[in-house]
Amino acid sequence: MSSSSPSKQDVRNEKWSPGIWRNYPALQQPQYRSADGLSAVRDKLATLPPLVTSREISELKAALADAQEGRRFLLHAGDCAERFSDCTTAQIVNRIKVLRQMGLLLAHGLRKPIVKIGRFAGQYAKPRSSDWEERSGARLPSYRGDIVNGSTFDHEAREPEPGRLLDAYAHAAMTMNYTRALAADGLSRFDDPLNWPLDWVERSSKATHYLRTISEVIAQAENPAQGRAAFPYAQDADRIYSSHEALLLEFEEPVTRENANRGGWFNASTHMPWIGLRTNDLDGAHVAYSSGIENPIGVKVGAGTTPASVLQLIERLNPRQEAGRLTLITRMGHSKIAASLPPLLQAVRVTGYKVLWVLDPMHGNTEESSTGFKTRRFEAIHSEIEQAFQIHAAEGVPLGGIHLELTGEHVTECVGGASGIREADLSRAYKTAVDPRLNYEQSLELAMLIGQAANASRNTADLAAVPA
Ligand code: PEP
Ligand code: CO
């Protein structure tokens, strides 16, 4: 961390390099014991081949530029904290399956192509509200994600270990490799009718509607020739981009490469890095680093983020007003969004600045269950989604995507939804390393409800536009 921060004027005049962040206050960074060990790891990382290409990054940026204008919709979803142990055949397949099936359901509901970005292949670093964790009187450094330390509550595991940066890159590479291999084979096997377990739907009060939606989607997916004509939204169906929170800057710096052909610097470990709420300070290290890379970037904004700071973030992170460059991910919470979101949308709208607005209905809706689990209520998540579509429609600003924490596994971490998970069920399959995720069934159900919420807001907007 620098002892004196440069002024805003210095920031603008300084020549950007991937190590520029070292001149700024860097929150949420671990303290490594071995500076030599860390520097050897950084040198090694700098020599390794990229996980993504600058061409893919530019293609994603173009797709996000479309989403910004309301012509496509972004599904940005995956683990809260990806673990190295999640790098298995089954989990990769299940992740693709849930993203792919949600993509089809969203395309059906929203009548537009869905751009899919996973929180995976690098989502290994976590911000924590406290540097320390206490259990029965013992105090140890908090778990900061597999890229930093281990989650086991003992001294050895919690010590930040530089070698984990290389392990993270290797696991991200293996995850990307298999994801790409399955994509190259064609992902349509994941839409096979046998691949849609539906017993949970039958238990729902909305069973008729859900079954009709799913059978329409399956029919279209099963018959691609006819499907593509009748359902021209298969455009992005075979692609899944990667993303992670660019939190651990000792990792992000050496994986950032200059591309002479395309011009500029690219974070070559992921298509779309994002800046978390806790590190979105305008004059902090994360914004300084992100300002100079060519990747599309996301920034989380919350109920406490002011309109003035949103405008400053836009000016700092997208000074050339490049389409698709900047995604603002709002995470207010269902009880705060009605008051907190409109002023941000209005402030940006009057400037004419273009950003992609995406809703994260997860992080403002975390609570503790009576049984002591960190959980989220499906109904709260759904309510924030319905409100967001209404607010965006009323302000005339497209809601261009959704950001979710979910898994293709049958976990019990969030309560509610048609499959009826109750607080008493949470202990059955609570597996997340940090935040509670929607399970496979809850994810599919939410994809259908997002389509409904979008259509309801369109109807409200149309009614409002009808002259009296
Ligand atoms: C996250 O996305 O996992 C996260 C930590 O979110 P936020 O920065 O919005 O708190
Ligand atoms: Co989270």
Q: State yes or no: 209 annotated in a binding site.
A: no
Q: For residue 168, how far is its CA from the centre of ligand 2 (angstroms)?
A: 18
Tens-digit pLDDT profile for the chain (468 aa)? 344 455 555 555 679 999 999 999 999 999 999 999 999 999 999 999 999 999 999 999 999 999 999 999 999 999 999 999 999 999 999 999 999 999 989 998 998 999 999 999 999 999 999 999 999 999 999 999 999 999 999 999 999 999 999 999 999 999 999 999 998 887 778 877 778 888 888 878 888 888 888 888 888 777 756 555 455 556 667 799 999 999 999 999 999 999 988 889 999 999 999 999 999 999 999 999 999 999 999 999 999 999 999 999 999 999 999 999 999 999 999 999 999 999 999 999 999 999 999 999 999 999 999 999 999 999 999 999 999 999 999 999 999 999 999 999 999 999 999 988 999 999 999 999 999 999 999 999 999 999 999 999 988 777 776 665
**Closest approach atom of ligand 1 to CA 302:** 9
Q: For residue 8, how far is its CA from the centre of ligand 1 (angstroms)?
A: 26
**Closest approach atom of ligand 1 to CA 276:** 8
Q: For residue 228, how far is its CA from the centre of ligand 1 (angstroms)?
A: 36
In the chain, where the domains are located: 8-465
Cα gap 92→111, rounded to integer Å: 27
Cα gap 23→150, rounded to integer Å: 29
For the Cβ of 80 lying below 6 angstroms from any atom of ligand 1, the answer is yes
Q: State yes or no: 164 annotated in a binding site.
A: no
For the Cβ of 128 lying below 6 angstroms from any atom of ligand 1, the answer is no
Q: State yes or no: 403 annotated in a binding site.
A: no
Tell the residue nearest (CA) to atom 6 of ligand 1: 276
252 token code pair: 């992000």
Tell the residue nearest (CA) to atom 9 of ligand 1: 277
Q: State yes or no: 294 annotated in a binding site.
A: no
CATH fold of 8-465 reads TIM Barrel (3.20.20)
Amino acid type, 127:
P
The pTM score is 0.95
Q: Which residues contact 263 (CB under 8 A, 6 or more apart)?
A: none
Rounded to the nearest 10 degrees, what angle do helices 378-395 and 440-465 cross at? 30
Cα gap 304→302, rounded to integer Å: 5
**Closest approach atom of ligand 1 to CA 127:** 5
Label residue 423 exposed, middle or buried (CB < 10 Å: 0-12, 13-18, 19+): middle
- Residues β-bridged to residue 368: 374
Tell the residue nearest (CA) to atom 8 of ligand 1: 276
For the Cβ of 277 lying below 6 angstroms from any atom of ligand 1, the answer is yes
Q: Which residue of 126, 281, 300, 413 sits with most ligand 1 atoms within 8 Å of its CB, as the best mutation to test the pocket?
A: 300
Q: State yes or no: 97 annotated in a binding site.
A: no
**Closest approach atom of ligand 1 to CA 277:** 8
For the Cβ of 127 lying below 6 angstroms from any atom of ligand 1, the answer is yes
- Residues around the ion ligand 2 (C-beta < 5 A): 80, 435
Q: For residue 250, how far is its CA from the centre of ligand 1 (angstroms)?
A: 19
**Closest approach atom of ligand 1 to CA 279:** 8
For the Cβ of 331 lying below 6 angstroms from any atom of ligand 1, the answer is yes
Express each pLDDT in 420-458 by its tens digit. Answer: 899 999 999 999 999 999 999 999 999 999 999 999 998
Instruction: Compute CA distances 89 → 95, 433, 438, whole Å.
Output: 10, 19, 20
Residues composing the chain: 468
Instruction: Compute CA distances 300 → 8, 187, 270, whole Å.
Output: 22, 31, 18
